[in-house]
Each structure stands twice: as structure tokens, then as C-alpha cells.
A and B are shown apart, each in its own frame.
Chain A
Amino acid sequence: MTQGGAVNTAFKLYPPWWRDRYLKEAQRVTDDLIESGRTRWRIVLNLSGGALRARLTARGMPMKVEPWARRTNASIVLATAPTLGVIPLMLTIRQVPAIPGGSGWTMPSSHIATTLYLVLLLGFVALISTVIWGYTSLSNGLLTRGTNGRGLRVMARVPGYLTVLAVVLVVASIVIEPHRLVYHGNSSIPLNGHPLAAHDLWVAAGVAICLCWLASVVLLAWVAHRAELPVASLHSGTRVSVAVSIFLWTMSAAALAMSTVYSKQISELSGIRVQSVILGQSLLLLGIVLCVLSIASTIGSVLTSRSWKVTSHLAR
């Protein structure tokens, strides 16, 4: 008897160690249940729940270094991957921390908002720095292990090279940008430089960053599936996971607090108030998305810490 497509897919959700150990007999039980009249969708739901539990708890997983190291790999990816969602989100922020209007007059709540905005930005900078540190350790680990395929070893370098390229393009763009001369008080005219080329370089830098983002997604997926990393890389990956979760929660808290501050700003100028409420709503949305990403990252870092304990114990 052949298994249904959905049933087979549900079995694929299980971790490899589980499939090695239980797949054949579980398939046989499933065949018997279908034959006895049990509905397929109930079996699929039950198997999917079982797969989730098997992945989260790892109960019954053989006490060998390889599967536990692979589990640590995958958990590190789960904990750090939300960063890739944060980068485009942060680019959507187009607000200024002071009350809009440009009159130079600010309310006390604006100072709180300014501080929270700084916390958000500092959290983001810390997050990116942590991820760069993690990436360095990851790529070194991938390159030192001879068992990793050539494709993966090449892929390990790609995000780094693309980041360097983007930085070079941005610097080049700034260098060749025209120096401006103030003319007649308000207007300015280009004194020298290459404005069109500078613009093109900016666009190229943007493309490089986008490609870097895509390459990071591919690299993380690859690492989660089949990479082998030395124990030292797994150790630093564990610390990176915890740090990423902490910075994500910091950013979430800052965004949510900012949304409250902006939503409650009441000004005599109704136009400013409307603008504040809109800012508050968009920041609330940002805060909620950041919270979801933080939860995913926290689950990943908790799993990483547990797996790492077992892996390091077995590797001794």
C-alpha cells in the first residue's frame, strides 16, 4: 500500500535520527490504521504534532556527537535567522524622534521617544555586530571542516565578500560625490565630482546588500541541513544565539514603548497629533513583529543551550 502525499510529507517533518530509527515501523502502523478506516487527515495532524515534539524535545535521540551537533547547528540557525527579518524591518523606519513640525519646540514625551529611538538603534547596531561575529565564526568553522562540500565552503565566503563589496561601493560613492558650494544663501551648485556615477554606486551597493541578504538566507538553510561545524564554532554559535535573543527583546521593548509614547502624545496642534498617532500605530506593528521574531529566536536559543550542553558533554 502506498502512503498518501500528505502522510509522507508529515513523516519528512521528523528529524533524521527519528526517521532512521522509527520510520519503517511507523509507516507500517499508518498503513494499518488507514486500512482499518482511520481518516488520513487525523493521522497527518497527529504525525505533524509528533514531529514538532520530536524536534523540540529530542527525546529518544541517540547519545552520539553527530546528531547532537547537527541539532545544535539547526537550533543556532533558528535563533539567529530572525535577524534576517529585522534588517528589512529597520529600513522601513522613516520617523524622527522629535515631534514633527520643525518649530524647534518639543514636548517632554519627545525626549523619552528620542531615548527609546536611540535604544532601538543601539540594539540594532549590537545585533548586527553580534551577527557579524557569529558569521565570522561560522565561516571559519565551515572552511576548517574538510567534510563540508565545496559548494558550502564557497557559499560560506559569499556574504562576507558581498558585504565588503557594498562597503567599498558606498565609500567610493561618497568620495566621488560632488562637493557643494553654497551660492546665494539658499541654493547650492555642484562644484566638482560625478553625481550620476555616485548615484549608480549607491544603487550597486544596495544591490550588493540585497544579494548578501539572500546569500545569508541560503547559507543558513544549508547550514541547518547538512553542515558540520567544529565544537569551537558551536560554542560561539550558542553565545551568539543568546545575545541575538537579548538584543531582539531590547528592540521589541523599545519599539513598543515608543508606540505608546507617540500614541499618547496630545498636542494643541491637531495635525501633529494625527501624525503622532500614525507613527504610534506603525511602531506598534513593528514592535509586534519584533516580538514574534524575538519569541522564535528565544525558542532557538533555549534549544541551542540544551543541545550544546549535551554536545559538549559527548564531545569530551
Chain B
Amino acid sequence: MESTIIKAVNYNAYFGDNQVVKEVSMDIARNSVVAVMGPSGCGKTTFLRGINRMHELVPSAHANGKIWLNNEDIMEMHPIVVRLKIGMVFQRPNPFPNLSIHDNVLAGYKLNGIKLSKSERERIVEESLVKVALWKEVKDSLMKKGTFLSGGQQQRLCIARAVAMQPEVLLFDEPTSALDPISTAMVEELFKELKKNYTLIIVTHNMQQAARVSDKTAFFYMGELVEYDDTKLMFTNPTDQRTQNYITGRFS
């Protein structure tokens, strides 16, 4: 199996005439954790959403350039297939409020009309919740509505929901910025585990988080990919002055 799972080549993204991502090329290795950081408005979230083709859902949004998933051009694939292989977790935990915890985990199957046998359903629910360290906490209240959990638990539920679809890649859009420090730490612990089976791409505002969890870090500034390197190098001796200015807080 090749070691590069996602490859972007000269990817550009626009909202109408406004170019938000400029000529971004990067290779992401299988089973690695890549952090994407940069100041507000630098294009990191837009780029992330380009990977699972959520970007094109916004009216007037368009993009060009190539992104490959396992050597397949994602623009040639059906967007739904892309999103089944590349899951996403958002900034604000968003479990479906009208579904129970159990149904939330299976939402990708149920709401898409995919039929599963009872034993398969139970297995998927348990496995997914175990993977996000939530099983013990909720196994006796699986029928409660998803919104009655705490913020950190809700976010882990959303990760379980994404993981249940057995994707290859998981995208995280500032996943802990709405969580308290303890929940944040729990989610960061999860990344270490999840990395064994999935490839993680995490957009974060929090530089220390990028430093803590990722193998490689990408720094975006004004739509460009300024630097993309091993995290250790990035934080001890970055190559680009802009990267250095950002991580040392010379501008936010």
C-alpha cells in the first residue's frame, strides 16, 4: 500500500471571485496526523473542506486543481462516495438532536437508508463508541437523546458517528475549540489511538495543540501553504520567517 493517502496538487478554491486558497500542494501520509494552522482567514478551513468536497456546497464556491485520494481524483468520484471515505468532525459538536445516542452513531447508515442487521448495528455502535472512549460512559443510556451529553461527550459522539462509517481519512475542523481543557485533553488522547487506523487532518487555531498531537504541521497564510514540515522542526527551527513570526506570536 502506498504511503501517501491524500495528495493535493495546485489546489485553488474560490468564493465567487475571491480566491481563498492559492496553489496548495501537499502530500499526506497514511496513518499520520497532520495539523493545519494559520491565522483567521488564511484558507485552512476552506482547504480542509475541499478535501471532502464540502466546499462546493456553498453557493458561488468553486475550485480547481487536483486532490487525490489513493490515486483517485476526488472530483471524478461521486461526492457522496468521497464523503463516505473521508469523514468530518466540526467545531461545534453537532449530534442530531432528534436521535438517540445509539441512532446518532448509526446516523450515516440509517439516514442514508442503508440496511444493517441487528447484530451488525450493535457491533458498530459498540465498536465506534469504544474507539472514542465513550462506551463505558453511555452504554447504559444509549437510548437517551444525543444532546443530553456534555460538550466533550457530544464531540466524542460526533467522532464515533464519523468513525462508524469506516472512512479512511478523518478531517477535524477546530474540534476542541468549543471544549473545556479536560475534554480537549481527552480528545487529543483519542487522536493517538485513532491514528492507528485512520489518517487525521486537523485544522487548529491552537498552536500548542498542533505541537502536541501532530507528526507534520502545515502553516497557511493568506491562502498560501507557506511551510509544511515535521512538527518538531517547525517549532524549533522553521524555515520561513512568516512561520516563525506566527508561532512566536509576533502577529496573530
**A in complex with B:** no
A residues within 8 Å of B by Cβ? none
